[in-house]
Amino acid sequence: MTTSTGTAPSPRALARQRRRASVARFWRQYRSERAGLYGLTALSLCALLALFAPVFVGSDVSSVTEAPGRPMQSPSAEFPLGTDQFGRDLLGLVIWGSRVSLLVGLLAAVLSVAIGTLIGVTAGHFKGWYATVMMRITDWFLVMPTLVLAIALATVMSRSLTTTVVAIGVTTWPTTARLVRAQTLAVETRPYIERAQALGGGHWHIMSRHVLPNVMPLVLAQTTLIISSAILAEATLAFLGLGDPTVVSWGGLLQDAREAGAVSAGDWWYLVPPGIAIAVVALAFTLCGRAVESVLNPRLGVSR
């Protein structure tokens, strides 16, 4: 398949051209999804803020010994969102916290989708007893309450970011696995797969060259959607006190607020900003995910 003929554009160049065209087509269609654009804008803003947080606020913002204010000050000109229990600037903390929340959300989603894709593709491809076993395992994870499982995992492992990523990643993959398996089954019935097999294509070749590219759009959409739930899950775990207490994250801020008694004291500025930040980012990812999904999934496209 990779033997290059001497004639005009090489297959490699052709493939590149085709990809460029499809990206352009994708973008054109995506642009027509207004909600998706809003989501993308919000996301880009958040990503920029997180990336340039060291410039805006600096890591000093999370220092307790050099906290600039008094504990639990309400919003003022100096501290637009007030201060936390150590007298740290909450605006700075919310911006700084976005780094961890986004990072953990992305990593956990990637891990979850990677596991899901691996199991989905292999189960769809190999069928037989292997598929049965894998799908039963998937079913088992599917019926287990995700949060409870994640809490159990986070409890037994030491408290760190890796733990949180793993706890979320290994508990949220079953839906992806199911979706990918269904798509794999559909792709494998196509005639060109049969042709490839007749020409001597092995399992690895079929899975990596023919099945994977075809399930990729689905995986992409699924990743975007899972990120939002991963961010929520990260915030939940941190809120429940299962995160690393020394790292500033949105969920961790909520947990700090709760422990400091901000809920019953009515110190809303400690609670509302991280909460809204979580909601906005999760919403933005969902909007993007839906938009990508409707662009890539032909069936959704027709119905609209």
Partner 1 sequence: MGTNDQKRSLPHGLRLVALAGAATLTLTAGLATPLDPAPQQARAADDGKKVLTVAVAQSVDSLSPFLAVRLLSTSIHRLMYEYLTNYDPKDNHAIAGLATKWEPSPDKLTWTYTIRSNSTWSDGEQATAEDAAWTFNKMMTDPGAATANGSYVGNFRKVTAPSPTKLVIELKKPQATMAALDVPIVPKHVWEKVSDFSEFNNDKSFPVVGNGPFVLSGYKADSYVRLKANKSFWRGAPKFDELVFRYYKDQDAAVSALRKGEVSFVAGSPSLTPAQAESLKGADDIQVNDAPGRRFYALATNPGAKAKNGEKFGDGHPSLLDQRVRNALFRAVDREAIIDKVFRGHAVEGEGYIPPRFQDYFWKPSASQKLAYDPAEAARLLDQAGYKKNGDGKRVGKDGKPITYRVLCHATDPNDKAVGKYLQEWWGELGIGVQLNCLDNVTDPWLAGKYDLAFDGWSVNPDPDFVLSIHTCGALPATPKDTGATDNFICDKKYDELYARQLTEYDPAKRADIVKQMESRLYDLGYMNVMAYPNAVEAFRTDQIKSITTMPAKAGNIYGQDGYWSWWSAVPADSGGSSDNASSTGVVVGIVAGVVILGGLGAFAAMRRRATAEERE
Please, which of residues 240-269 interact with partner 1 by CB under 8 A?
A: 240-241, 245-246, 254, 256-268
Q: What is the total count of residues that contact partner 1 (CB under 8 A)? A: 50
State which of residues 19, 28, 31, 34 lies at the interface with partner 1 (CB under 8 A).
34
State which of residues 9, 11, 54, 71 lies at the interface with partner 1 (CB under 8 A).
71
Cα–Cα distance measured from residue 168 to residue 161, given in angstroms and rounded to the nearest whole number = 11
| Closer residue to partner 1 in complex, CB, 197/286 | 286
| Closer residue to partner 1 in complex, CB, 160/214 | 160
| Closer residue to partner 1 in complex, CB, 35/196 | 35
Contact flag: residue 236 with partner 1 (CB under 8 A): yes
Return the range that interacts with partner 1 (CB under 8 A); candidates 20-28, 47-55, 135-143, 272-280.
Answer: 272-280
| Closer residue to partner 1 in complex, CB, 184/229 | 229
Supply the DSSP symbol for 74: P
Question: From the centroid of its chain, how far is CA 59?
Answer: 25
Cα–Cα distance measured from residue 232 to residue 229, given in angstroms and rounded to the nearest whole number = 5
CA distances from 202 to 126, 194, 215 (A): 12, 11, 18
CA distances from 289 to 96, 165, 168, 220 (A): 25, 20, 19, 8
Please, which of residues 192-211 interact with partner 1 by CB under 8 A?
A: none
Binding mask 81-120 for partner 1 (x = CB under 8 A): ----xxx---------------------------------
Min dist. Cβ of residue 174 to partner 1 (A): 17
Phi/psi at 13 (5° precision):
-65, -40
Return the range that interacts with partner 1 (CB under 8 A); candidates 100-108, 121-129, 162-170, 239-247.
Answer: 239-247
For CA atoms 266, 270, 274, 280, the dihedral sign is positive
For CA atoms 285, 291, 292, 297, the dihedral sign is positive
Tokens at 205, concatenated? 């070749």
State which of residues 2, 3, 65, 189 lies at the interface with partner 1 (CB under 8 A).
65
